[in-house]
């Protein structure tokens, strides 16, 4: 067999294989099959064909994984000097948003990033980091989780694997979750978004205010000592930059979810937050980060409390309470229809007990 012919057959075969894996139209697949048949017929290049076929199989698998992965299309938004956040949709988690409905932030320091909340999946965290890497390629030294709802921390494992990041957050994550648990995100997210997501334990549970100094920045990690949005919320305050990361103690643009919370505790948390000197406040959900960021939350919980207590005074019972306290001021906010009634129900149970 002439060497040039052999080489040209190999080249044809390689070209058509490359085309086949990249586009995979029926014509390409046919071309690929034809050139493979030619190659097989040529005894002198049998071994090479074998090697190429193996290589082709490898390329195909690789390609399949990368094209199949959910693309969150993440773009970090700068909210203050050295602070970028990914803002999630004001929606419940769905197959379409793949759990990208909470906020999480990166704070850049000279020695690396501190990250507040890690999103709903490993894939999300990986893509968030890839996006931040373009701003500055720094390691993530600390992750802080605001609370135990799984749209906020299922990306933890990415940071641990990639950087050995120290994970800090509420005790309830360690107490209530272990790898293999089918939490809400595992049930809702498409497979190509939740794949590779593992639940791992946090390294540190702050029992009282903890100060972290990293690369010239100061962070106060503040755990709530009462049930507020959940039983053990954590928020971050940067006293020197006057930036606060509230987690779900504050939301705006949408109705909160009161299923694990307390109206009285929420008001206490908002009071604590209000007393701190901040210029920028990043809510757990919502896009407003200026001085008005917590106004909606404050109004929502104040009205909820005052109106339910007034209704209780008037002997309104649990079957009537939802209609008695409509909170119409909030009817245009996202998720009002899904969450407001149940919030009023939970709040009634809580406030009735105070009597």
* Binding piece for Zn ion, criterion CB under 5 A, among 22-30, 80-88, 119-127, 283-291: 283-291
Q: Pattern of binders to Zn ion over 119-138, x per CB under 5 A?
A: --------------------
Which CB atom, from 112 or from 284, has the smaller least distance to Zn ion?
Answer: 284
> Could you give phi then psi for residue 276, rounded to 5 degrees?
-85, 150
Interface pick for Zn ion out of 102, 243, 269, 347 (rule CB under 5 A): 102
Interface pick for Zn ion out of 126, 217, 233, 248 (rule CB under 5 A): 248
Report, in Å, the least distance between residue 268 CB and Zn ion.
19
Report, in Å, the least distance between residue 65 CB and Zn ion.
30
* Binding piece for Zn ion, criterion CB under 5 A, among 24-32, 75-83, 149-157, 216-224: 149-157
Task: Indicate whether 101 belongs to the interface with Zn ion (CB under 5 A).
Answer: no
* Binding piece for Zn ion, criterion CB under 5 A, among 25-33, 40-48, 141-149, 344-352: 141-149
Report, in Å, the least distance between residue 254 CB and Zn ion.
10
Q: Which residues pair with 334 in a beta bridge?
A: 254
Report, in Å, the least distance between residue 297 CB and Zn ion.
13
For the chain, the distance separating the N- and C-terminal CA atoms, rounded to the nearest angstrom, is: 97
Q: Which residues pair with 109 in a beta bridge?
A: 112
Report, in Å, the least distance between residue 60 CB and Zn ion.
39
What's the CA gap between 347 and 313, in Å, rounded?
15
Alpha helical stretches, state H, the chain:
3-22, 26-41, 46-68, 122-133, 156-163, 171-176, 184-188, 191-194, 263-275, 295-313, 321-324, 336-354
Ranges assigned E (strand) in 134-225: 140-144, 166-168, 210-214, 217-223
Residues touching Zn ion, count (CB under 5 A): 4
What's the CA gap between 270 and 266, in Å, rounded?
6
Whether the Cβ atoms of residue 16 and residue 35 lie closer than 8 Å to each other? yes
**Contact footprint for Zn ion (CB under 5 A):** 102, 149, 248, 284
């Amino acid at each position: 067999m002439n060497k040039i012919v052999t080489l040209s057959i190999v080249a044809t075969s390689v070209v058509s294989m490359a085309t086949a894996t990249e586009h995979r139209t029926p014509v390409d697949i046919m071309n690929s099959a034809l050139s493979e048949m030619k190659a097989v017929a040529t005894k002198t290049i049998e071994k090479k064909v074998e090697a190429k076929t193996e290589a082709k199989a490898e390329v195909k698998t690789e390609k399949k994984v990368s094209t199949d992965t959910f693309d969150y299309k993440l773009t970090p938004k700068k909210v203050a000097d050295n602070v970028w956040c990914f803002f999630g949709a004001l929606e419940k988690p769905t197959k379409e948003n793949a759990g990208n409905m909470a906020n999480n932030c990166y704070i850049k320091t000279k020695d690396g990033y501190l990250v507040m909340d890690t999103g709903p999946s490993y894939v999300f965290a990986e893509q968030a980091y890839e996006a931040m890497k373009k701003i500055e390629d720094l390691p993530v030294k600390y992750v802080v989780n605001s609370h135990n709802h799984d749209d906020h921390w299922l990306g933890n494992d990415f940071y641990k694997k990639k950087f050995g990041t120290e994970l800090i957050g509420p005790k309830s994550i360690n107490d209530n979750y272990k790898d293999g648990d089918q939490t809400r995100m595992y049930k809702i997210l498409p497979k190509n978004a939740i794949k590779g997501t593992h639940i791992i334990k946090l390294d540190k549970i702050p029992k009282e205010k903890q100060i972290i100094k990293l690369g010239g920045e100061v962070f106060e990690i503040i755990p709530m000592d009462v049930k507020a949005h959940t039983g053990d919320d954590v928020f971050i305050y940067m006293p020197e930059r006057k930036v606060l990361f509230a987690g779900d103690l504050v939301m705006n643009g949408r109705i909160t979810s009161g299923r694990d919370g307390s109206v009285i505790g929420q008001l206490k948390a908002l009071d604590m937050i209000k007393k701190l000197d901040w210029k920028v406040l990043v809510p757990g959900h919502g896009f407003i980060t200026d001085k008005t960021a917590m106004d909606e939350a404050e109004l929502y919980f104040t009205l909820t409390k005052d109106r339910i207590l007034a209704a209780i005074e008037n002997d309104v019972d649990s079957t009537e309470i939802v209609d008695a306290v409509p909170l119409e001021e909030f009817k245009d906010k996202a998720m009002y229809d899904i969450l407001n009634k149940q919030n009023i129900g939970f709040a009634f149970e809580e406030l009735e007990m105070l009597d």
